[in-house]
A and B are shown apart, each in its own frame.
Chain A
Amino acid sequence: MARITVNVDGVSYSDEVEPRTLLVHYLRETLGKVGTVVGCDTSNCGACTVHLDGESVKSCTVLAVQADGHEVTTIEGLSSGGELHPMQRAFHEHHALQCGYCTPGMIMAACSLLKDNPDPSEQEVREGLEGNLCRCTGYQNIVKAVRAAAQETAASAAPASEPVTAGGAR
């Protein structure tokens, strides 16, 4: 067993874990963060995507021990103060989800994409989300939502020149 200390969604946790434990299993089974889900065993689907120190990672491809001393944000920690993150709101408004199983990972990956490219073209969104599979939507509304969130974030960030933070828009 190995002892790790991880900050997840703003709370610090210290736990003994089996070295083989995947981050996604630690989140779901030890911390009860079941908003993050498992969709495949091969790091293809991206349903388990979270942020590790602000960068998106597939939490089925990260060992819990690798998160020791780091900060993890899951879908459950994305919004704050009872207000949805602009990406969450855009997914809702543009009907970018149906069954919703891929959605937590898709939203986390999309936030990460905008951090690297604040104004992506349609093709850039498609390429940027290539590692996240959705079986319901055919992706068109996801692309639309991500671009809408980019515009909203740019519009709200410009006057105050604030960084993109959870719930910061509007």
Chain B
Amino acid sequence: MTAVDERPGRELGNPRPRKEDERLITGRTRWTDNIVLPGMLHVAFARSPFAHARITSIDTAAAAASSGVVTVLTGADLDAEQGSLPTAWPITPDMKAPRHPAVAVDHVAFAGEIVAVVVARSAREARDAVELVDVEYDELPVVLDMEAALADGADLAHPDLGTNASATWVFDSAQAGTGADVEEAIATARESGVVIERRFRQQRLVPAFMEPRSVVVDPTGDQTTLYSATQVPHIVRVMMALVTGVPESKIRVVAPDVGGGFGGKLQFTPEELVTFLVARRLGKPLKATETRTESIMTGHHGRDQIQKLTLAATKDGTVTGLKVELLADMGAYLGLVTPGVPILGAFMFNAIYKFPAYHFSCTNVFTNKTWTDAYRGAGRPEATFGIERMMDELAVELGRDPIEVREQNWIKHEEFPFTTVCGLQYDSGNYEAATARAKELFDYDALRREQAERRQRNDPVQLGIGVSTFTEMCGLAPSRVLGSLSYAAGGWESASIRMLPTGKVEVVTGTSPHGQGHETSWGQIVADRLGVPFEDVEVLHGDTAVSPKGLDTYGSRSLVVGGIAVVKAADKVIEKARVVAAHLLEANPDDLEFANGSFTVRGTDQSKSISELAFAAFAAHNLPDGVEPSLDSEATFDPENFSFPHGTHLCATEVDTETGQVRIRTYVCVDDVGDVVNPLIVEGQVHGGLAQGISQALYEEAVHDEQGTLTTATFVDYLVPSAVDLPHYTTDRTVTPSTTNPLGVKGVGEAGTIASTPAVVNSVLDAVRHLGVRDIDMPMSPQRVWKALQHGASSTSGGELPDAASAGGDAPVVDMTAPTDPGEAGPSVDVAGAQDQPIIGGQPGDDAEGRRP
């Protein structure tokens, strides 16, 4: 327990209902699509129905003549200005990246790409006119299958690139000096131990935030203001400046109320860029709001990997090595962090375990499908799924209890801090405690007995018990590590605190919440730290004019990076106030004690409250010589390490062997996210994460047909689960504080998603494995489960180990232990050299004035 926790009446740990709620439950919301500006026009996009084609002609005459239409623009009309959408993560120096024009010029690489832009008086007139845009295409062969895409002579998703392979990235513990040689471990295990080889498929998912994306651009001031339903207003501002050449100081980006993101709004989008360019060209405010189908077809997707795993162990169940070979589907283009998503999983396949040898390689592959990028967990759910499936397979092979095998291999609580085979240092954890608590809540032994009874009597409904443990690296991220991974930006976060003369406090954060409740949590942190009432703290965010500096919200980073910046800023306020207090109390600063919002001279009743001192600084009538009249403070916090939450999830499923229907009967998870600021919010984050992870296991998949058309482009066909599709969750927490930040907190936003998918899949397999089923692809629909039962074996890819095009080539080894100078990956450096897509912006080109029409 930290000292802060022991104060009476504390806000930290208080399950305070959120202050954000009042406007959200009464409809007084500020969604981007609600914005109406004087003279505002509306944008609609004509989009390619083909996944891969050459554009041979575009006739816009009929659309331009349609009622209310102001202008119709094509890629050719915009090409001098639009440049290419950027990627910020060149994972290798020779990474291939096709140019990504916001409006296609002569080539479309996935169905849904913008081919023309219609601007009209109303949204409906713009949409009507889109139907009149006449585009002629020559269809090209579509690339859909990653393994086929890497074969010799394969059709190409981008013919100009000459290959479908974007990059291959390798980590090897022997080469990095962080562990032994995995090939030796496998060779030894083949002779005298156990080798498990499996191939898993991570299906393609749609983030499916509830608020469709919307962008409004107002070019009527000296600054151009862009309102967007984005998670990353600060990043959008930098990207817009780098891509268009408009000075960053002339661009203001606002993320008003934002309706969910889950990584899906961590992007710099074609729609943002086009709306910005056209609004400036016309000198009129523009709005572009997508339909749900546009959102599903063209907003980036997530996951989509083929995983080939080889695990070596001794016969007594001690793992001696793990080899991971991945193919990751980029889709048609590289988004902001697309290439790095699988790399975020590279350091997590070893999970909570003490593996002595590890090898990871991943080849990123282009296809003619919707681009992929971050989706809740980004790389870490894939890794956790892979290893937690393998630990179950090892337990099955050895005839052991799956929890026992895990315990045999995991890091014991007394072994922290622990340096992993990837070179990461886990600061703290207690896997024994979380697992023990989960087993107790689950009534593990009773369920195992019931399972045995049902098997005994051949019950048509079989019971399965699934286990998953996890840790994840989140709290993105220490800037130096990001630099060593060739990411183009840092991972710090900024906060400032303004002490108003009336005693109120304004907190400005660089994080950009879209459901996470930062207005409440940051208010709680500051109320405690400064000893002021919670109601007196206002939290401001999401507008680059108000919060000029930040790196926004994703990767479970907001509290562990942004919240710590808030703490540091508050501490600076206190130190500034101490000097003023000492002066006014005629005491030595060292003799002052700060508690409950006041400085007191030790051993006296002489005191000054922080709000009195704020007023004294405002009046500035009586300050010490040389002291500036302000208590306001700013802090930028760069974390020294990642955050490593962990937990144990247990899932009991009933599988109807006659219909293939899966029903989750009991779901228990015990997460350890260190100390918590607001338990209500933490629990909500866990619930939501569980829903998305369970849904990957059972329900969701983005499906393309053989022409590359997305057949799941509405909520009729893409199954976002409703309340009846999801179970009641039993959640609890153990508390092992982080040792790398002053609040002892760990990230929580992605935890539930990361752990739950393998828990469910392991559970279903546990129910039917004795009937001859080895694996079932996700989502485990009734049809797939039923088919697997009929075949008495795996369905499509499971269990088999085909000659998947394995990663190879001359990939560089990234050495986590020897970070490069972060300056080497600065935004002005085009790391990709001769490639067409800019690495953060490429060549900005003309200045703002030169780009105006």
Contacts and interface: CB of A to CB of B under 8 A. Distances in A.
A1 to B, nearest CB: 13
A153 B253 CA distance: 44
Interface string A1-43: 0000000000000000010000000001000111111111110
B417 to A, nearest CB: 33
A136 B22 contact: no
Contacts of B688: 98, 135-138
Given A133-B210, A134-B210, A41 B29 contact: no
Given A34-B34, A129-B723, A135-B209, A95 B17 contact: yes
Interface string B649-688: 0000000000000000000000000000000110110011
A51 to B, nearest CB: 13
A44 B26 contact: no
Nearest to A139: B723
B690 interface: yes
A102 B21 CA distance: 13
Interface in B223-268: 257-260, 262
Contact of A138 (B21, B33, B687): B687
Interface stretch (B74-82, B512-520, B540-548): B512-520
Given A42-B716, A129-B722, A136-B688, A34 B209 contact: no
A140 B24 CA distance: 19
A67 interface: no
A97 interface: yes
A36 B715 contact: no
A80 B514 CA distance: 28
Contact of A130 (B208, B724, B729): B724
Given A99-B258, A133-B210, A140 B27 contact: no
A76 B210 contact: no
B120 interface: no
Contacts of B691: 135, 137-139
Contacts of A93: 17
Given A34-B34, A97-B25, A39 B212 contact: yes
A47 B752 CA distance: 25
Given A35-B28, A40-B714, A98-B688, A139 B262 contact: no
Contact of A99 (B36, B515, B723): B515
B575 interface: no
Contacts of B259: 37, 99-101
Given A92-B17, A143-B723, A101 B211 contact: yes
| SS class, residues of chain A in contact with chain B | loop
Nearest to A74: B27
B720 interface: yes
B210 A101 contact: yes
A99 B729 contact: no
B31 interface: yes
Interface string A71-108: 00011101100001000100111010111111110010
A133 B211 CA distance: 11
B517 to A, nearest CB: 7
B27 A98 contact: no
A100 B24 CA distance: 5
Contacts of B515: 98-100, 136
Given A37-B211, A139-B691, A140-B729, A42 B723 contact: no
Output the residue of B17, B22, B25 with the most chain A CB within 10 A: B25
Contacts of A91: 21, 25
Contacts of B27: 33-36, 74-76, 104
A118 to B, nearest CB: 19
Contacts of B514: 99
A168 interface: no
B291 interface: yes
Interface residues of B, number: 54
B739 interface: no
A44 B22 CA distance: 26
A35 B210 contact: no
B292 A42 contact: yes
A99 B210 contact: yes
A94 to B, nearest CB: 8
Contacts of A134: 210, 723
Contacts of B209: 99, 101, 135
B401 interface: no
B723 A44 contact: no
Contact of A35 (B26, B260, B720): B26
A114 interface: no
B455 interface: no
Interface residues of A, number: 55
Interface in B504-563: 514-517
B20 interface: yes
Contact of B29 (A34, A92, A132): A34
A104 B210 CA distance: 12
A95 B26 contact: no
A41 B25 contact: no
A142 B292 CA distance: 24
A97 B18 CA distance: 9
B92 to A, nearest CB: 34
Contacts of B26: 35, 75-76, 78-79, 84, 88
B723 A126 contact: yes
Nearest to B714: A42
B21 A137 contact: no
B602 interface: no
A150 interface: no
Contact of B687 (A39, A130, A141): A141
A52 interface: no
Interface string A137-168: 11111110000000000000000000000000
Interface in B336-353: none
B728 interface: yes
Interface in B1-36: 17-18, 20-22, 24-29, 31, 33-34, 36
B820 interface: no
B728 A122 contact: yes
A29 to B, nearest CB: 8
A141 to B, nearest CB: 6
Nearest to B516: A98
B293 interface: yes
B715 A44 contact: yes
A38 B229 CA distance: 14
B441 to A, nearest CB: 15
A74 B29 CA distance: 13
10 contacts: A37-B31, A44-B720, A45-B292, A93-B17, A100-B257, A103-B24, A132-B723, A135-B260, A135-B692, A139-B687
Interface of B: 17-18, 20-22, 24-29, 31, 33-34, 36, 124, 208-212, 257-260, 262, 291-293, 514-517, 680-681, 683-684, 687-692, 714-716, 720, 722-724, 726, 728-729, 752
A-B pairs, top 3 by smallest CB distance, nearest first, are A35-B27, A100-B24, A101-B259
Interface of A: 18, 28, 32-42, 44-45, 47, 74-76, 78-79, 84, 88, 91-93, 95, 97-104, 107, 122, 125-127, 129-143
Given A40-B292, A101-B259, 5 more contacts: A28-B34, A45-B715, A99-B258, A101-B211, A104-B25
